[in-house]
Amino acid sequence: MAYLIGEALVGKDEEIAHIELIIGERDGPVGKAFVEAFANPKYGHTPLLAVIRPNLPAKPWTLIVPKVTIKNMEQADKIFGPAQSAVAKAIADAVEEGIIPMDKLDEWVIIVSVFIHPKAKDDRKIYNYNYSATKLALKRALTNYPSWEKIAYDKDRAVHPIIGYRMNHRLWRPPYLQIALDIPDIEKTIQIIKQVPKSDRIILEVGTPLIKKYGTKVIRDIREVAKNKFIIADLKTLDVSQVEVDIAFEETADAVVASGLAAPESLDKFVYEAKRLGIYAFIDMMYVENPIEKLKTLKQLPDVVILHRAIDVETKEDLRWTWIKKIKEEYQGKILIAVAGGITPQTVPEALKNGADILIVGRYITQSKDVERSTREFLLKIAEYTPKEPGDIDLFRVHVE
């Protein structure tokens, strides 16, 4: 064993404890780091041995390193008191409980990074939270927690407590309802967003008319009232694609839309830049006669293809359902498929049955006298098609780590 790593956060308020630790052999890299840190203290971050009380250190030998700069003796007392004792007691109890093997007491050393908020006051809470966090971090280190299965399951569900909402959204759980905010009136658009019911199934599109009137800064304006939503910038890019992707990214867009009528060279740059920045590349196939042939001209596939029946031709024959099946068969789930144009609650079952991943709806919702009711009509239809799936991803979570 070279070393093992563990982390845990326990508690709340200013006394919250965040422990990060490394366990390793005395004659290995952790032992070397232990000695170097101990022999070269940094101002405000003086390392100290974990002791249950003076003259009674824990084993394996453990070095505590404060994360937050200690600026006065009151803050020092929190580290050289409840935190120090809690970490040491957790180490000793972990040995007694068999978490740390008894035969490793004199072979291993531990480095523990301890967070103590400068405004922390309650010594008992500091002790209890740091004890629990240290014990949990030890157990996690020695069991190689988390497994990849745990990471894969939670990475798109997770909300960091400091941020308070999800960042860097991923479209990992279709079907979705994409609301196209096409009305070129920012005040009215904000009112519409406020009436949309909360649901993880809903994503928002900043429509082309809105962007043309206000510029791409309108994306950031919408982000202010929809912080936790996946937001698509419908730029319908035809040229200078990398520049337009960069602009939308800087305005906090999670995805950007290019026109499928653009040259393959431009679309290649568009997809490349979106993937480089970690946002989604949508290609709108409106007026593209053969979407599959267009996709075959590209070096890299987009994340989403939009099969878009234009407003001006909504009364003509609808070939989208046929194209969904053909694209799904050709690319075996490598691309999400969105359908737009004339989507109503009545057409939702047909769209989902044929394999649509995203339902793009504009006027039916945005021009409704009751935005919430109209939106729920779609959500109910989606729920009927996915009866085993909860509407919100945290619905059945009873404990948040």
The catalytic position among 18, 160, 308, 399 is 18
Q: Cα angle vertex 360, ends 357, 366, to 5°?
A: 150
Active site residue 18: yes
Query: 44: which residues sit within 8 A by CB, 6+ positions away?
Result: 66, 69, 70, 71
Give the start-end residues of each E strand in 29-182.
48-49, 51-53, 56-57, 61-66, 108-114, 176-181
CA dist 298 and 272 (Å) reads 11
Taking CA 311 as the corner, what is the angle to CA 279 and CA 333, rounded to the nearest 5 degrees? Answer: 40
Cα–Cα distance, 284 to 257 (Å, whole number): 7
| Structure tokens, 160 | 């960091």
DSSP-based three-state secondary structure for 360: strand
H or E, element range at 387: none
CA distances from 303 to 200, 202, 240 (A): 19, 18, 20
CA distance 349 to 27: 65
Between CA 217 and CA 214 the distance in angstroms is: 7
Q: Which residues are catalytic?
A: 18
